[in-house]
């Protein structure tokens, strides 16, 4: 697809500076972009490439001052990074909207209901009672279980598995290999030391505008629902256990794990490889640093935590500063002990 600077400016509410008829047909990083490519500059560290790039069109901030005359056409916007991201989303939507129809071989149960402009890739299996909304895209190898509901404009990438009775909201993206609705890890210990499985008869509810990365697993509830609320973003390789609730617009980075029945508030930020125990509550706005282990309820909103077990970030920094000074402190304590001993000796006349 080819676009002019004028068309792009209209899409992102920008102002063209230069040739509005200049065209691009692909994207490039500003340090590598070639002719007929679109680039952007948001980070001042890359400003030098503004004057050497071969990009035909560049999106820049309104406040960007030019030190030299540029051959490229510029599009000025209040926030170049956000504008470029919005443009990429529009481009992706245009590309996916072109997909429609059912590829073969695939299986769609006679009782399944398909909306308008649906795409179903080859080797996809849609079970009985499933409801697929308008403009939904199911890429090859997707499995949709019994009575699953997927609402309008959602995209399931190759190999996604949605178990029975789960629901997926509008404008949700689930990346390749993720499993939604597998059994929660529920086993009752027996007197003989063995474990008996507890049936997991709940489901998973994913609300609107959620994005889930590749190879993530979200377990179904024992009873009720495991809930991922609207706007939440989950990275690759994340484990969400049974009956967990993840709040609105909460973000969780890769390789993190949340144990059963924990409730995570709204706008929480969780770093990579963090671990959270079960049956606790994480207050709204909490920030949990990478590799932290959270073992108790966080009641105060907007708290920042680090370490394992996790505790207040500011206190942790002080502790780290003290730890770095321990060799010097040990030396000073030894000198003080020596001085005290000398004073005692003098006092008793030794």
A 10 A CB-CB count for 58 gives: 26
pLDDT of 123 over the 70 cut: yes
Q: What is the pLDDT of residue 157?
A: 98
CA pseudo-torsion sign 251, 256, 261, 263: negative
Give the chain's mean pLDDT.
94
Rounded to whole angstroms, the Cα distance separating 25 from 1 reads 6
For 10-33, write each residue's pLDDT tens digit: 999 999 999 999 999 999 999 999
For 141-200, write each residue's pLDDT tens digit: 999 999 999 999 999 999 999 999 999 999 999 999 999 999 999 999 999 999 999 999
Q: What is the pLDDT of residue 70?
A: 92
Token pair 């671990």 is found at 275
Ramachandran region, residue 237 (left: φ > 0; alpha: ψ -120 to 50; beta: rest): left
Asked whether the beta carbons of 76 and 14 are under 8 A apart, the reply is: yes
Please state the rounded mean pLDDT for residues 70-90: 94
- Paired residues of 31 in beta bridges: none
**pTM reported for the whole predicted model:** 0.82
Q: What CATH code would you report for 3-97?
A: 3.40.1390.10
Rounded to whole angstroms, the Cα distance separating 181 from 158 reads 17
Rounded to whole angstroms, the Cα distance separating 46 from 41 reads 7
For 205-236, write each residue's pLDDT tens digit: 999 999 999 999 999 999 999 999 999 999 99
Q: What is the largest CA-CA distance in the chain?
A: 104
Asked whether the beta carbons of 197 and 186 are under 8 A apart, the reply is: yes
The candidate with the shortest Cα–Cα distance to 169, out of 232, 114, 127, is 232
What amino acid positions are annotated as catalytic residues?
242
Q: What is the pLDDT of residue 311?
A: 59
Domain 101-313 part of CATH 3.40.50.11540: no
């Amino acid at each position: 697809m080819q676009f002019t600077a004028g068309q792009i400016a209209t899409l992102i509410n920008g102002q063209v500076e230069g040739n509005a008829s200049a065209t691009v047909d692909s994207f490039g990083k500003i340090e590598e972009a070639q002719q007929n490519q679109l680039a952007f500059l948001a980070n001042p560290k890359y400003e030098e490439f503004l004057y050497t790039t071969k990009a035909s069109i560049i999106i820049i901030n309104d406040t960007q001052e030019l030190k030299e005359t540029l051959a490229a056409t510029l599009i000025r916007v209040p926030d170049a990074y956000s504008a470029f991201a919005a443009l990429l989303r529009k481009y992706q939507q245009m590309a996916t909207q072109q997909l429609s129809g059912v590829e073969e071989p695939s299986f769609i149960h006679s009782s399944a209901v398909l909306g308008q402009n649906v795409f179903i890739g080859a080797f996809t299996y849609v079970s009985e009672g499933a409801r697929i909304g308008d403009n939904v895209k199911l890429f090859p190898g997707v499995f949709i279980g019994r009575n699953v509901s997927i609402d309008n404009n959602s995209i399931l990438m190759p190999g996604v598995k949605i178990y029975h009775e789960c629901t997926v909201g509008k404008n949700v993206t689930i990346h390749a290999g993720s499993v939604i609705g597998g059994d929660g890890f529920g086993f009752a210990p027996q007197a003989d030391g063995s474990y008996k499985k507890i049936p997991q008869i709940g489901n998973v509810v994913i609300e609107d505008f959620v994005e889930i990365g590749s190879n993530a697993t979200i377990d179904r509830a024992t009873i009720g629902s495991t809930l991922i609320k609207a706007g939440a973003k989950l990275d690759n390789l994340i484990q969400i256990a049974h009956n967990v609730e993840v709040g609105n617009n909460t973000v969780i980075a890769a390789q993190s794990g949340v144990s059963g029945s924990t409730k995570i508030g709204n706008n929480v930020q969780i770093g990579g490889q963090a671990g959270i125990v079960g049956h606790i509550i994480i207050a709204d706005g909490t920030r949990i640093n990478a590799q932290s282990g959270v073992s108790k309820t966080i009641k105060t909103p907007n708290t920042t935590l680090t370490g394992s077990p996790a505790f207040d970030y500011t206190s942790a920094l002080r502790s780290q500063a003290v730890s770095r000074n321990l060799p010097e402190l040990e030396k000073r304590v030894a000198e003080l002990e020596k001085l005290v001993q000398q004073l005692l000796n003098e006092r008793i006349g030794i």
